[in-house]
């Protein structure tokens, strides 16, 4: 994220960390409960997380973050 404000960088890093942790927690809970998961494998889950995080990092900067 070259050229983006440091505060935005910290904010999106925090968001990415929360997304990773929460999605892993939800997958683990579903597996423990023998419930359906969003994606069939951990590799597929990782692919989904990567897609979401890349999209978040590349999202336009708006509002007070500029």
- Looking at the predicted structure, is the pLDDT value of residue 66 above 70? no
pLDDT tens by residue, 6-62: 899 999 999 999 999 999 999 999 999 999 999 999 999 999 999 999 999 999 887
- Looking at the predicted structure, is the pLDDT value of residue 63 above 90? no
State pTM to two decimals.
0.83
State residue 64's pLDDT score: 64
Contact 27, 37 (CB under 8 A): yes
- Of the CA atoms within 13 Å of residue 37, those in its CB half-sphere come to 21
State residue 40's pLDDT score: 96
Contact 38, 48 (CB under 8 A): yes
Confidence of residue 3 (pLDDT cuts 50, 70, 90): confident
Give Cβ neighbours of residue 21 (< 8 Å, ≥ 6 apart): none
Task: Report helix, strand or coil for 20.
Answer: helix
């Amino acid at each position: 994220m070259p050229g983006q404000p440091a505060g935005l960088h910290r904010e999106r890093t925090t968001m990415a960390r929360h997304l990773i942790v929460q999605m892993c927690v939800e997958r683990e809970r579903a597996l423990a409960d023998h419930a359906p998961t969003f994606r069939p494998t951990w590799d597929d889950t990782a692919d989904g997380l990567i897609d979401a995080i890349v999209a978040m990092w590349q999202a336009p900067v708006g509002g007070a973050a500029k």
